[in-house]
Amino acid sequence: MRPRVSGTAARESSSADPRRDTPALALPFAAVAGIGLLTVVLPPYDRPWWVAGLAALSLVPVVIVFFVSQRRDEASWLHPLAAYLLFPYAALLHDAAGASAGGSASGMSVFLLLPILWLAITGTLRQLWVASALAVLTFAIPILVIGAPSYPSGDWRRAVVWAAVALVIAPVLQRIVRDLERQGRRARVASERVERLFDDAPHGVALLDPAGRIIRVNTSMAVLVGLDPPEMVGHELGAFESPGEDRIQDHVVRLVSGRDQALESECTLRDSGGNDVSVSLSSTVVGDRGMGEVIMVNVVDISDRRRYLDRLSHLADHDVLTGLANRRRFESELQRHLDRCRRHGPTGALLLLDLDNFKQVNDSLGHNAGDQLLVTIGGLLRRAVRDTDVVARLGGDEFGVILTDGDQDGATRVGHSIVDLVRAHAATLDGVRRRVTASVGAVTFKAASEHATDILALADMTMYDAKDAGRNQIAVLPEGELRPPRSAARLLWQSRIEAALEHDRFELHLQPIMNLADDRITSAEVLLRLREEDELVPPSRFVYIAERVGLMPLVDAWVVEHSVEMLAKLRRIDPTFALEVNLSGHSIGRPDVEQAICDSLTVHDVDPSALILEITETAAVGDVALARAFAERITDLGCAFALDDFGAGFGSFYYLKHLLFDYVKIDGEFVAHVHESQVDRTILRSIVGIARDLGKRTVAEFVSSPDILAVCRAEGVDLAQGFLIGKPVPYDEFVSTFLTAQVALPTA
């Protein structure tokens, strides 16, 4: 069985050997040969009938060779032997015609052109030489065998002429034919290449008539809409567009009208499964000799790019962690609602929410736990309001809610609902997250218009009213009252803090620390107070404001300068006395604070080892590398460090290992009930043991009773601090109470 040849292989075979074609090329030769035979057999004729019969029989092997060669794959379908066998046929016709003409001057010798032309078109140059030799023999043999008078020697001239035709003219014709074949082959290859490029293009290609109807599409185009190419032909390309859109029709009209020679646009196709596919159209009008003007449309699937761009657009307006709107989107929606209120009257409210004690979650349980809590709170807020309302994460643990409609009562109800939801959710969690609550500030747009103040600032101040009132609640700015939020005082606190720095209105109180080895007060912790007329303001009321407005480094620098000055006086009373000074996390690594430490120690000529800088564990958590570098630089001066609130954070022992601390101040939560709780006592014992092994001293905070003090002694705590030892007092009272005469403490 002959092997099947694929269409591509057939095309390649045809291109490689153009002579292998249909037998149609043999028909003209056959027709001429038949006409020649017919002229011989028609009367009058003088030669015997068998001459014409021999001529007819001589065509039989030509036909046989031709059909036999058709079944041979390795040979050209026009086998040269068939051409060679035409020479005896031509000789017989020449002889018969010459006899009937009364001599050798026969016009039938023209039939020698049949094999010569045959081989010039289909043969090789060598085969033409063979044909030339056969042409000469066709004339020479009768002259030599039969001779005059039938075949005079003058026939040699005719033989020479035919040999020249075969050797000179036929090769020229052959070159012409070969050139035409090569050009045709190149044209076919180019056409096939164009066909393959069209059919195999990785993107969709469609040819349209000026009316937008599909003339032809490639496979990729058909795949885009889930059909076969023939099913799309004849339909308008716009018929495959998503319902309700007419971008393709407009695209075609603009091209045909000549407004654009090349045009790009985007549209959405609807595939056979009902799915939308975003595509980019790139079209141009091309001329075609057969069809006139044709619109060629390149169609590229940009669904992935569109999804990527949509994702980028979403990320630009939404918080990555919670999926809620971000501050940028929130401010845009707020401005849009304010414009609406100006046109149609104020309605709705703005709520700002801040999570209480959230920092402890990050510090004690890690940032992953904090992130998960934020995601959960975001979901709770989204479910607590309507779909038309806007919920956003403004940064950190702060959220904003825009209620697009409603009054003050409605805003109050939503605020209470949010507070209850957060508290209820936190109650189901373990550890420090139980203490997470929400402080909410609510301001209606009507109240904001009455105050003629930025509603975002009013809501922020109102939220801090909730915090100052004890947290875990909502504060609402009443409508119809011009009294500003109580936390508007926070805006005044900045100027008050700045004034206190300028006019030395801060005061330093000292809380004694007892050395349990000899029950002597050998050091004290410096605690900051702010004098406001007759009121002494504790740091809890203004430190967070100073941190929020960026004034804390200045405050810490003031504290350091005055603490070192106080330390110099205390050491004149007790040369071994030491002071512990708290530093805010906002001051760690600040050059101005470091410079204040160095300058103060130099100015007052104080031994640096007498200055103990306290850094809370939560401050160290913020940036361990920064805290370590700061501690290394200050330690090089000779100062000591204490890690405050040790045990309150998740990474306590990690920081104890990686940071340079001389003292470990045990968090009061593990000390306050150590005489009643075996768990607290075990924790206390483990902290003391680890600190001792690391060469660090321990300080127990919240020592408020003799029983607690006794446990601390028994477990090996080095220093004790608390109301039992002494409350914070001004400098003069501290000196008179704790340094002039050491007071005996009650025992358990």
The mean predicted confidence, pLDDT, of the chain is 80
Predicted local confidence at residue 367, as pLDDT: 78
Residue 351 scores a pLDDT above 90: yes
Q: Token match 């959710």: residue? A: 425
Predicted local confidence at residue 430, as pLDDT: 64
Give the full edge-to-edge strand order of the sheet including 262-270. Answer: 214-217, 204-208, 292-301, 276-288, 262-270
pLDDT band per the 50, 70, 90 thresholds, residue 260? low
Among 13-22, 221-230, 267-276, 441-450, the least confident range: 13-22
Distance CA 393, CA 353 (A): 9
Beta bridge partners of 400: 352, 392
Residue 722 scores a pLDDT above 50: yes
Predicted local confidence at residue 444, as pLDDT: 93
Among 364-368, 525-529, 743-747, the least confident range: 743-747
Give residue-wise pLDDT tens across range 123-152: 777 877 887 778 777 777 776 776 666 666
| 318-485 belongs to CATH 3.30.70.270 | yes
Predicted local confidence at residue 9, as pLDDT: 38
748 burial (CB, 10 Å; 0-12 / 13-18 / 19+) is exposed
Residue-level length of the chain: 748
- 123: number of Cβ within 10 Å: 23
Return the percentage of the chain with pLDDT > 90, whole number: 27
Which residues make up the CATH 3.30.450.20 domain(s) of the chain?
201-307
Residue 172 in tokens = 């020229």
**Selecting from 3.60.21.10, 1.10.1740.10, 2.40.10.340, 3.30.450.20, what CATH number does the domain 201-307 have?**
3.30.450.20
**Is the distance from CB of 375 to CB of 458 less than 8 angstroms?**
no
Catalytic, 397? Answer: yes
* Mean pLDDT, residues 706-727 taken together: 94
Q: Token match 């039992």: residue? A: 724
**Is the distance from CB of 643 to CB of 665 less than 8 angstroms?**
yes
Return the percentage of the chain with pLDDT > 70, whole number: 79
Buried b (16+ CB within 10 A) or exposed e, 154-181: ebeebbeebbebbbeebeeebeebeeee
- 723: number of Cβ within 10 Å: 12
- Number of H helices and E strands in the chain, helices first, is 29, 20
Beta bridge partners of 506: 530
Residue 201 scores a pLDDT above 90: no
What is the amino acid identity at position 36?
Answer: G
Predicted local confidence at residue 169, as pLDDT: 78
pTM for the complete prediction? 0.44
343 vs 82, more confident: 343
Distance CA 104, CA 151 (A): 6
Distance CA 375, CA 359 (A): 15
Predicted local confidence at residue 102, as pLDDT: 40
Residue 34 in tokens = 């038949």
CA 635 to chain centre: 46
**Selecting from 3.30.70.20, 3.90.730.10, 3.20.20.450, 3.40.50.150, what CATH number does the domain 502-739 have?**
3.20.20.450
Predicted local confidence at residue 73, as pLDDT: 56
Distance CA 429, CA 654 (A): 24
What is the amino acid identity at position 677?
Answer: S
12 vs 93, more confident: 93
Predicted local confidence at residue 399, as pLDDT: 94
Which uninterrupted H or E stretch holds 691? helix 678-693
Distance CA 88, CA 728 (A): 138
Residue 103 scores a pLDDT above 50: no
Query: Which range among 255-259, 390-394, 588-592, 630-634 has the greatest average pLDDT?
Result: 390-394
**Is the distance from CB of 696 to CB of 495 less than 8 angstroms?**
no
Among 187-196, 393-402, 472-481, 646-655, the least confident range: 646-655
Which of helix, strand or coil describes residue 187? helix
CA 663 to chain centre: 48
Sequence-distant (6+) residues with CB within 8 A of 743 are 737
Give residue-wise pLDDT tens across range 556-615: 999 999 999 999 999 999 999 999 999 887 888 888 899 999 999 999 999 999 999 988
Catalytic residue among 155, 363, 397, 645: 397
Buried b (16+ CB within 10 A) or exposed e, 264-291: eeebbbbeeeeeebbbbbebebeeeeee
Predicted local confidence at residue 595, as pLDDT: 92
Q: What percent helix, strand, coil does the chain show, rounded to 5?
A: 55, 20, 25
Distance CA 559, CA 713 (A): 32
Predicted local confidence at residue 434, as pLDDT: 59
* Mean pLDDT, residues 157-162 taken together: 74
Among 229-233, 485-489, 513-517, 642-646, the least confident range: 485-489
Which of helix, strand or coil describes residue 509? strand
